[in-house]
Amino acid sequence: MLHSKHITVSANTTEPNAISTYFLVNQGVIYRIWVNFPAGCAGLVKLRIYHEGHPFLPVDKDAYITGNDYVFEYPIFYEIKTTPERITIEAWSDDDTWPHTIDVQFLIIPKEWVQPIGAYEGVIAALKSLFTKS
């Protein structure tokens, strides 16, 4: 399932007053995250993503993502184990004149697509064959 957020950050939105938007996700694996900073953001718009209240991207609470005319693509293999779980996107802008809009997308796929059920049996059988005599 693809989750998309189109986030507009007003001018002079400080970090303590950051805009927070969230969505609920079902069980599966976060497979990819895309963050699009259109031209004009000039590194002034900053973003942080949380999973259930804990820093997720970037992991360090004091870090953030920023850019200009660039789409960041993050290959993530993070399992969502219960349903629903909350993903929060926090954004702010140091621009004192213009609002900016950024786009964030999450692709969440079924766990079976990442690790097919049959793969476990094959690995276990191979390991057993190393330790047992025929």
Q: What was the pLDDT predicted at 134?
A: 55
pLDDT score of 101:
97
pLDDT on residue 61:
85
The architecture (CATH level 2) of 2-131 comes to: Sandwich (2.60)
Gap between the Cα atoms of 50 and 58, Å rounded: 9
Q: Could you state, in order of their start, the residue ranges of all structural domains in the chain?
A: 2-131
Return the pLDDT at 117: 54
**pLDDT reported for residue 124:** 67
Write out residues in the chain with pLDDT < 50, as ranges. Answer: none
**Closest alpha carbon to 110 in 80, 84, 87:** 80
Q: Classify residue 108 by burial, with Cβ atoms within 10 Å: 0-12, 13-18, 19+.
A: buried
